[in-house]
Structure 1
């Protein structure tokens, strides 16, 4: 049934104007509210308390809640509370979000008004809407939701509060608190939703990992090499990896003690890094088993920088390409494979020459693929230690390398070192 048909049916049931109902329904659907939940929300708005399925369901435990549920009542412990502003139907809307838990599991929630929630509270949320988000149920606490604070504390097998090490953070996390050192930071002006906006962006680090960040309301405490505690952040995906977002509702406090950081990347097998969905600063070791097409001497669009084929850019059509060097190498460590992408500087190192050398070799052979062939002879079959940012998308896993060094130590020595670490 289409949105128009659902609107007509709903307007007939409620005895209200169809166009008004249709506009409200389309707005909710555009915000990714499931159609059934949107219909129930409008029934409440226009005075029909029914949900079309027999009322609100009372759930004994969180693990019973499914995306097929309309509205539920559940008792749970508040693990954390985040606060931020979003643009909703053309206006700024402050929301509160985080995670609820009981003994059976956890569920994300979004509160569209301030219910006064605090980490550690035990609440009973009545008539909470259920929506699907990333394939899982999420609770929506709105104007029709009742929240009762229980005197008896619900015991849960989860930590209360938003404190997290960077290595634990995942895309979609809300209400996260971190203690980090500002590894890199720059001030930029962007074209934001309200015009030109100044932001801070860079890299945060602790002993476990490094992650990119954006401060949308620049805090003076965030400066290079500063050790800070940042509370109430949320996490989005940036180039395939989690990125910490600091907002006007975040608090930033300078720390007296310096946060210790790891000078090396997070060392992971390829399979584990890929299954994590992306790692910002990862180090892995494997053998190069092949060099992919599009390596060696290539041409890029002068407008967008994309690699072009036969003078054609997918976005800008026929262009005069600009020469560049790149390598796309398949790295295999026995647990999985990843495409390692080397920029022009790293490509020069493995090629043994610069861009002009590559042009000269291609001219002499009247074939630019000879550059990729030369690189292939140098690296295929050899073992390399690679560090960089690994991302995963529908096309596979890519590791944009910041370093690419051949492994020269004895495998037996490495095995002995590994065993000694395990024994310790």
Structure 2
């Protein structure tokens, strides 16, 4: 984004110093204020008209809009409308957000006021700003934008997404205005420090017949209780600890369902490459061979305050501490399509090791080497195929699967090879 260009145009139109305008713009943009809203704010500050426009917006198809476009006009079908409160320039503001579509594609939007459109409406949106969000263009519909009814229905190949109904397995971070039918599997009440001080929230796990996801209810509702089958309308999805999380806002509506929502006891099994490419996943199963047991496996010490693994008595956050003994395994798993690190907690590690913590520590004392425990674990795991189920997170450091289940595979290699050959032949 060329800030200098926008600052120079604004400064010239307002008759003020360019560097002052540039500083004002940068201050707003660092808080993710959309460019067109930031420019309007600067105009107002310096006595200019907030309806001023730098240039006539171009009329574009959604598929032709890029992150560097300025203002555009589009004719679209509204797929979803979500409502959420945010803090904007120090004030709480209600925004609308969701997805729009035409025959060429789908784009996310944020509307900074209620323009009255609903899912399924066909509308003409004029002078909408474009910003980049997670590498993709997003429309910002603000005070300088116009929204009108399009008489002819805008035909799109995405009409099945109107209204936002979705299965849990299809939800991704960034989704807004979604509708899900779910059963509450786990729920707990917690007190956290929020923007308005301490607040109580609900968190837990939701499920349907396709999978499971964690959730947070920011305005605790009494009907969100274990075992309840619910239709949740207008939820949004954020990434938390590398996996999608369903969020219920103050605008989410809840309906108790008479018929129980069917849930699956199994996790979707994916090839490792597919799971990693999909990003973080809550409750997924993979099958692969253990290639290596990584450093940091076997006997370890954790910080008593934060639970992080410590080295030489030093915690990255709390400095010098008296560590607490623990065990874990970090195993590199490969299936030919990709690799990940399966992380086994204390209980799973003792099962793999075949002994207790006391047994492991006694072995280390006898050998005068803690590494004998990791070596013993490696001798049992490396070269064997395992089924692993748990929560997958993917970041710049790689893919990690926090294992809930870890067991040697009993799949018949010949049957699996035949299935692969059949798939290739098809």
* TM-score tier after normalising by the smaller chain length: over 0.9
1-structure distance, mates of 2:50, 2:266: 60
Residue matched to 2:97 = 97
2-structure distance, mates of 1:96, 1:48: 21
Pair 1:25–1:265, CA change in 2 (3 A): same
Pair 1:35–1:233, CA change in 2 (3 A): closer
Query: Aligned-pair distance for 1:102?
Result: 0.2
Residue matched to 1:351 = 353
Residue matched to 2:138 = 138
Unaligned runs of 5+ in 1: none
Pair 1:34–1:327, CA change in 2 (3 A): same
Which residue of the other structure, out of 361, 364, 369, is the alignment partner of 1:362?
364
Contact 2:34/2:140, CA 8 A, preserved across alignment: no
Contact 2:51/2:144, CA 8 A, preserved across alignment: no
Query: Aligned-pair distance for 1:302?
Result: 1.7
Residue matched to 2:392 = 390
Query: Aligned-pair distance for 1:156?
Result: 0.8
Contact 2:35/2:129, CA 8 A, preserved across alignment: no
Contact 1:62/1:102, CA 8 A, preserved across alignment: yes
Q: Secondary structure at the match of 2:376?
A: helix
Q: Secondary structure at the match of 1:372?
A: helix
Residue matched to 1:262 = 264
Query: Aligned-pair distance for 1:321?
Result: 1.5
Residue matched to 2:15 = 15
Residue matched to 1:327 = 329
Is 1:58 paired with 2:59? yes
Residue matched to 2:300 = 298
Pair 1:73–1:41, CA change in 2 (3 A): farther
1-structure distance, mates of 2:404, 2:258: 32
Q: Secondary structure at the match of 1:310?
A: coil
Residue matched to 2:118 = 118
Contact 1:231/1:251, CA 8 A, preserved across alignment: yes
Pair 1:37–1:237, CA change in 2 (3 A): same
Render the CA deviation track for 1:289-326: whole Å, top value 9, x for unaligned: 10000000011122221111122222222222111101
Contact 2:330/2:342, CA 8 A, preserved across alignment: yes
Q: CA-atom RMSD, angstroms?
A: 2.7
Q: Secondary structure at the match of 1:249?
A: strand
Residue matched to 1:217 = 219
Query: Aligned-pair distance for 1:283?
Result: 0.8
1-structure distance, mates of 2:52, 2:88: 26
Pair 1:42–1:149, CA change in 2 (3 A): farther
1-structure distance, mates of 2:337, 2:363: 37
Query: Aligned-pair distance for 1:421?
Result: 11
Query: Aligned-pair distance for 1:74?
Result: 0.8
Query: Aligned-pair distance for 1:16?
Result: 5.2
Pair 1:9–1:144, CA change in 2 (3 A): closer
Query: Aligned-pair distance for 1:19?
Result: 9.5
Pair 1:180–1:48, CA change in 2 (3 A): closer
1-structure distance, mates of 2:272, 2:335: 7
Pair 1:73–1:421, CA change in 2 (3 A): closer
Residue matched to 2:185 = 183
Residue matched to 1:275 = 277
Pair 1:225–1:49, CA change in 2 (3 A): closer
Contact 2:50/2:144, CA 8 A, preserved across alignment: no
Count of aligned pairs between the two proteins: 421
Unaligned runs of 5+ in 2: none
Render the CA deviation track for 1:268-292: whole Å, top value 9, x for unaligned: 1111110001210001111111000
Which residue of the other structure, out of 233, 243, 252, is the alignment partner of 1:241?
243
